[in-house]
Amino acid sequence: MSHRDLRALISGETPVIPIPEPAAPNPAATAPHPSHGSAVHGTTVIAVKYAGGVINVGDRRATANYAVMYDRAEKVLPIDDYTLLAISGSYARSMEVVRYLRHSFRYFERSQLQPMSLDGKLSELAKVIAAGLPAAMQGIGGFLPLLSTYDRTAGEGRIFFYDVMGARFESGEFAAAGSGSMQIRGVFNYIARTRGPFHTMDRRTALREALFLLDIAADLDAATGGWSKVLPLAKTISAEGIEDVPEPELAELTSEITELEG
């Protein structure tokens, strides 16, 4: 306070005290760390058919905004003996849904003395996706899964995907979800048109193509992890049930792709 204002205050006058201009915000000081208060999200997952069933492939990265939170995330999870769920979006919400579906399918089977029908399983998943719509509209809690199953009645693998409101769709050959899915959409069609439909490929060929697609997604999408540090996760579902693709096989195929790309 200046001498003039001090004298005005003593004499009972109202001093004019200048209000300083607000300082320009410092983004480094005011912006939160990318991981503070941010939900963790899984990124790209892929499902393709092959002659004996369906292959599910996912990278291992989980992100929060621009930060890598975890590089060993499990994004392809069994729900029962013949159902796989590949998850993208909110990791916490996905895990909650996986636990719920496992319990729901098991409870139905024990209480009704028969497995839940495929249509029942698909409807149950649709309900939990629709229930998460309010959170998804706020930018939190949204997730989009791929459901793969082996239909023992039809004797074939089947792939289903959903929109954010729970509407379900069946894919005849392939599907992808997550941040890198749009970047590789056209590559699926290119492979199918130049090398034949996925459902006619043997297991190794289809797996190699799925890993190739995941590698392209990692190149074009910052959130999708590559395999230089951690191998991706891959599972198959067939008449024999769900099986993990062994790491030595994944290492061999990813090395082939890396050498091919030079």
pLDDT digits (tens, 9 = 90+) for 231-240: 999 999 999 9
More confident residue, 137 or 155: 155
More confident residue, 99 or 1: 99
Share of the chain above pLDDT 90, in %: 53
Looking up tokens 């590089």 gives 71
What pLDDT sits at residue 3? 44
Among candidate residues 226, 142, 220, 136, the one with its CA nearest the CA of residue 181: 220
Q: Residue 200 gets which letter from DSSP?
A: G
- Give the helix/strand (H/E) hosting 189: helix 185-195
- When pLDDT is averaged across residues 103-119 and rounded to a whole number, the result is 93
Q: Which of 34-43, 179-188, 216-225, 243-252 has the lowest mean pLDDT?
A: 34-43
Domain range 42-261, CATH class: alpha beta
153/137 Cα distance (integer angstroms): 38
Among candidate residues 202, 177, 175, the one with its CA nearest the CA of residue 189: 175
User: Taking all residues of the chain, what is their mean pLDDT, rounded to a whole number?
Assistant: 83
Q: Annotated catalytic residue: which of 14, 30, 43, 194? A: 43
Residue 194 falls in the annotated catalytic set: no
What's the chain's Rg over C-alpha atoms? 26
The domain locations on the chain are: 42-261
Residue 51 burial (CB count, 10 A): 15
143/215 Cα distance (integer angstroms): 22
What pLDDT sits at residue 14? 42
Q: Is the pLDDT of residue 230 over 50?
A: yes
- When pLDDT is averaged across residues 18-45 and rounded to a whole number, the result is 49
- When pLDDT is averaged across residues 16-36 and rounded to a whole number, the result is 41
26/30 Cα distance (integer angstroms): 6
The C-alpha angle 247, 250, 253, rounded to 5 degrees, equals 150
- When pLDDT is averaged across residues 9-27 and rounded to a whole number, the result is 43
Q: In what order do the strands lie in the sheet with 241-244?
A: 174-177, 45-50, 53-58, 233-238, 241-244
Cα within 13 Å of Cα(151), Cβ side:
16
Between the two ends of the chain, the Cα-to-Cα distance in Å is 71
Looking up tokens 């793969």 gives 148
**pTM: predicted TM-score of the whole model, two decimal places:** 0.80
